[in-house]
Structure 1
Amino acid sequence: MSNRTVLTGRRPRHGVRVTLTAVTLLVAVATATAPAEATPSYRPAAPVEATYYAPGPWAVTERTSVDCCTSTGDGYDIWYPADLGAGGVVHPVITWGNGTGAHPRQYAYLLSHLASWGFVVIAADRTDTGTGIQMLDAVRYLAAQNADPDSVFGGRIDTASVGAMGHSQGGLGAFNALADGSGAIDTAVTVEMPLAAVCSSLPSIGGRGACVDPAAVTSGSVLIINGSADGISPATQPLPPELIGIQSMRAYYDALPAGVPKTRAALVGAQHNDIQGQPDCTNFSCAEGVDGYLGYLTAWFMDRLRDDPAARTAFLAEIGELLHNPHWSDQASTITR
């Protein structure tokens, strides 16, 4: 088992530019490659992004091989503020879903960053999370820990403020957790969620498949993020969804019910596995590293789970900072004050 305190920080990044060749490369396993060329460190382009791109005020503890188990027998990795509950704070929850073939440690930089802003981030160590089942199990696990006075989490978790986020197949899981969670999830963030042509080939659990039905989301809010260079999660599609199904992030966005607050955007130049950067790229299908995602993913959760008005300004329809940030493209939002 492992419990260790880590501090988030920044260091120069190196980029590996690899062209995505086929949808069958959905697998999100990190494959070591030598960095090809040095690139300048990422620089936030606007004030809200810059605020939440920086590490938050909490030192972070990483807890691995301690907590068990999901309904399918998987353990959890957890990132949380080291001084949990200081000053009477109760901490919102983010439940994470890995991409196909990936493990939580491959996203440690991102998940630790979120914890530095006061969130308890829990990730089932499972390589197929598209159904959302294990993500909901993780929420129930932390709720039980919160009710246990002998647990480090006892009385320190805000069980009424819960977000779900995942990468690739895990993005489908976040969507499904929001739709199936009976109100347990307040918001879902999908990062590089695959097009619908892929989801039917992903594993099912107990008869539940990974494919998502946007119309099934009747509460909460959704942020849909993709990389502009990601062929598995394209921003747009060549033909209307009525003819070929939902094969783009814009189509997923448009298919959500009108009453669901939602935002979408594509990080310019990012490929399928940039979210796994630590923060630079050492793995296949990673071009820029994780840095470009940090500011707005954090801001979204600060808005949705901590009611931060400064963070919310980034997502406002028409005028939001994200919608005019040159690092991003294909932006849209229905968020209002």
Structure 2
Amino acid sequence: MSNRTVHRVHRGTRIALTAVALTAAMSAAPISAAPSYQPAAPVEATYYAPGPWAVAERSGADCCTSTGDTYDIWYPANLDAGVHPVITWGNGTMAHPREYAYLLAHLASWGFVVIATDRTDTGTGAQMLDAVHYLAEQNNDPSSVFHGKIDLDAVGAVGHSQGGLGALNALARESGLIDTAVTLEMPLAAVCSSLPTVDGQSTCVDTSAITSGSVLLVNGSADGISPGTQQLPPALIGRQSMQAYYDALPAQVPKARAALVGAQHNDIQGQPDCTNYSCAEGVYRYLGYLAAWFRGQLRDDPAARGAFVAGTGEFLHNPYWAEQASTLTH
């Protein structure tokens, strides 16, 4: 058991957010590199390929969050090779973990235990934190497959759309527990403020209140719900872009951001290709750098971390991405 203490813009826009989150139910696809897609750089290519672990999956067998939701878990089938970092996942509005199965299995193949709450509104981050606490309990339970296999000193949070808000809220609420947060197509403030409260709590996030950990903000350049930039300053219209969220993060928080060129709101739900609304090419181009970010931040993998270093990092010069920025120094 780790020595870490675990108890520790308008109506039309809102309709659009709800609509793009609706997709057909998908079953988990086997992880394999797509021959039709060729990564543009060496680090991306390394982590775009499946990792060294075969992946096992538990669906709906684990329960429960504080609001009664079950978990889906993807994890290395051979857990005996040491302890494994945790990634807690947040779904987009009205979405379920199975709609991200290809991505989540890919992350698990790189040695992570990936746990996803089967809840369709994850924006407060509360259930994402419940998932980490659940794995902490399993880590202490001699009858659990996860007994003694969870590294609670290495925990990341990531989510799509409203789940991206949840990832940042989880980091802000328990920064001593969450080490890094990644947002994928997180909605601009005008959309966020139009969402209903969840369990009486707002899903909106104040990035200036995040004081520790690290943050990666990712959006698609064709996603109007998650724009990269805004014409008017936040002082006048609020944080309506990834750049505004990024700029508001305190200077001591290592951070990076970029827009995936041409990606729409639901490309991240590709299994791996698009079969759903608001998807242009599928999940392929997200795979390499998401795996690299978590390997760098949670496993201190030098090649993976180096891809995001300000000025020289591969991620900042990859032609599939635009609007890159970073404050990482090593």
Given the two structures, how large is their TM-score scaled by the length of structure 1?
A: 0.90
Q: Identify the match of residue 91 of structure 2 among 91, 95, 98.
A: 98
Equivalences, count: 309
Which of 317, 323, 327 is the matching residue for 1:324? 317
Please say if 1:260 is aligned against 2:230.
no
Instruction: Decide whether the 8 Å contact of 1:164 with 1:177 is kept in 2.
Output: yes
Match of 1:71 in 2: 66
Q: 1:25 aligns with which of 16, 21, 25?
A: 16
Gaps of 5+ in 2: 1-11, 26-33
Query: How far 1:173 sits from its partner (Å)?
Result: 0.1
* Counterpart selection for 2:110 from 105, 117, 127: 117
Contact 2:175 2:213 in 1 (8 A): no
Q: Does the aligned pair in 2 maintain the 1:85–1:91 contact within 8 Å?
A: no
| AA in 2 matched with 1:41 | S
Match of 1:55 in 2: 50
Residue-by-residue CA offset, 1:155-187 (whole Å, 9 max, x unaligned)? 000011000000000000000000001411000
Corresponding residue for 2:266?
273
Shift of 1:248: 0.2
In 2, Cα distance between equivalents of 1:208 and 1:308: 37
> What's the secondary structure of 2:187's corresponding residue?
coil
Identity of counterpart residues, as a percentage? 76
Whole-angstrom distance in 2 between the partners of 1:204 and 1:137: 18
User: For residues 283 and 168 of structure 2, what CA distance do their matches in structure 1 show?
Assistant: 21
Deviation for aligned residue 1:263: 0.2
1:165 to 135, 150, 158: 158
2:185 corresponds to 1:192: yes
TM-score (normalizing by structure 2): 0.91
Question: 1:85: how far off?
Answer: 2.3
- Paired residue for 2:75? 80
Q: Which of residues 212, 221, 224 in structure 2 aligns to 1:228?
A: 221
**Which portions of structure 1, spanning 4 or more consecutive aligned residues, are displaced by more than 3 angstroms?**
none
For structure 1, the 5+ residue unaligned runs are: 1-20, 33-38
**The 10-residue stretch of structure 1 (45-54 or 202-211) with the greater mean CA deviation from structure 2:** 202-211
Q: Is the 8 A contact 1:168 1:191 kept in 2?
A: yes
User: Would the aligned equivalents of 2:159 and 2:183 in 1 still touch at CA under 8 Å?
Assistant: yes
> Separation in 2 of the partners of 1:31 and 1:76?
20
Report if aligned partners of 1:31, 1:284 keep a CA contact under 8 Å in 2. no
Among residues 281, 293, 315, which one is paired with 1:300 in the alignment? 293
Q: How many Å separate the matches in 2 of 1:43 and 1:271?
A: 20
Secondary structure (helix, strand or coil) at the match of 1:76 reads: strand
> Residues 132-171 of structure 1: CA distance to partner in whole angstroms, max 9, x if unpaired?
0000000000000001111000000001100000000000
Distance 1:170 1:197 in 2: 16
Aligned-partner residue type, residue 63 of structure 1? R
How far residue 42 of structure 1 moved from its aligned partner, in angstroms, is: 1.8
State the distance in 1 between where 2:303 and 2:45 align: 12
- Give the alignment's Cα RMSD to 1 decimal: 1.4
2:174 corresponds to which of 158, 181, 196: 181
Indicate the residue corresponding to 1:286 in structure 2.
279
Q: Structure 2 residue aligned with 1:41, among 36, 44, 69?
A: 36
CA distance in 2: counterparts of 1:199 and 1:336, whole angstroms? 32
